[in-house]
Chains A and B, each alone.
Chain A
Amino acid sequence: MKLARDTWLIFQYETGLMLKNPASIAITLIQPITYLLLFTPFLKSVMGVSTYGGAFGVYVPSLFAAMGVFNGMFAGFALLAAIRQGVITRCRVTPLSRVSLLLGRLLQHILLIGFQGIVVVVTAIAFGLRVGLGNFLVALVLLSLIVVMSVSLGYDLALLVPNENALVTLANSLAQPISLLAGVLIPLSVAPLWVRNVALWNPFAWGTNAMRAAFQNHIGDPVVWKASLILTGLAVLTVLLSSRLFGREIA
Chain B
Amino acid sequence: MTSRHAPVDNDRVLMIRTTGLRKSFHSGRGRRRTTIDAVRGVDLAVKPGEIFGFLGPNGAGKTTTLRIFATLLRPDSGDAVIASTDLRRSPGQVRKQIGFVAQGSGTNDQSTGRRELVLQARMYGVPKSTAIRLADGVITAFQLEEFVDRRISACSGGQRRRLDVALGVIHRPRVLFLDEPTAGLDPPSRARVWQEVRRLRDDGMTVFLTTHYLDEADALCDRISIIDGGLIVAEGTPSELKREISGDVVIVDLAAPDTAGAPEPATILDAAKILADQQCVESCETIGQTLRLYVDSGATAIPQIMRALSGKEIEPGAVETRRPSLDDVFLAKTGRTIGD
Q: Which of A6, A17, A93 contacts B110 (CB 8 A)?
A: A17
- Which segment of A65-73, A80-88, A112-120, A142-150 sits at the interface? A80-88
Candidates B100, B106, B108, B167; contact of A17 at CB < 8 Å: B108
A93-B71 contact in complex given A9-B123, A13-B119, C-beta closer than 8 Å:
yes
Asked whether A86 and B95 contact (CB < 8 A) given A94-B124, A96-B123, the answer is: no
Nearest to A100 among chain B residues (CB) is B123
Question: Is residue B96 within 8 Å, beta carbon to beta carbon, of the partner chain?
Answer: yes
Check A249 against B96 for contact (C-beta < 8 Å). no
For B105, list chain A residues within 8 Å (CB). Answer: 85-86
Per-residue CB contact flags for chain A residues 15-28 toward chain B (1 = under 8 Å, else 0) read: 01100110000000
Cα distance, A251 to B70, chains bound together (Å)? 13
Q: B110 to A249, Cβ gap below 8 A? A: no
Q: Does B192 contact A (CB under 8 A)?
A: no
- Please report the C-alpha to C-alpha distance between residue A157 and residue B124 in the assembled complex, in whole angstroms: 30
Which A residue sits closest to B103, measured CB to CB? A86
Mark A95-128 against chain B: 1 for CB-CB distance below 8 A, else 0: 1100000000000000000000000000000000
Indicate if the CB atoms of B70 and A21 lie closer than 8 Å: no
Q: Give complex CA distance A179, B107 in Å.
A: 35
Contact of A89 among B106, B110, B124, B125 (CB under 8 A): B106
* Closest CB in chain A relative to B302 CB, distance in Å: 50
Q: Give complex CA distance A143, B107 in Å.
A: 32
Which residue on chain B has the smallest CB distance to residue A93? B100
Contacts of A86 in B (CB 8 A): 102, 104-107
> Assuming A93-B100, A95-B95, A249-B74, is B122 touching A87 (CB within 8 A)?
no
**Is residue B109 contacting chain A, with contact meaning CB distance below 8 A?**
yes
Let me know if B72 is at the binding interface, CB within 8 A. Answer: yes
- Residue B115 CB within 8 A of the other chain: yes
Could you tell me if A17 and B96 are in contact, using CB atoms closer than 8 angstroms? Answer: no
Chain B interface (Cβ within 8 Å of chain A)?
Answer: 70-74, 92, 95-96, 98-100, 102, 104-111, 115, 119-120, 122-125, 167
Q: List 11 A-B contacts (CB under 8 A).
A: A9-B123, A16-B115, A17-B108, A17-B110, A20-B110, A21-B110, A89-B102, A93-B72, A93-B95, A93-B100, A94-B124
Other A-B pairs, 12, CB within 8 Å; known A90-B120, A92-B72? A17-B111, A85-B106, A87-B107, A90-B100, A90-B107, A91-B123, A94-B120, A94-B124, A95-B92, A95-B123, A249-B73, A249-B74
Which residues of A approach B to under 8 Å, CB–CB?
2, 6, 9, 13, 16-17, 20-21, 82, 85-87, 89-96, 249, 251
9 closest cross-chain pairs (CB), A and B: A86-B106, A90-B106, A94-B123, A93-B100, A96-B123, A86-B104, A95-B95, A93-B70, A13-B119
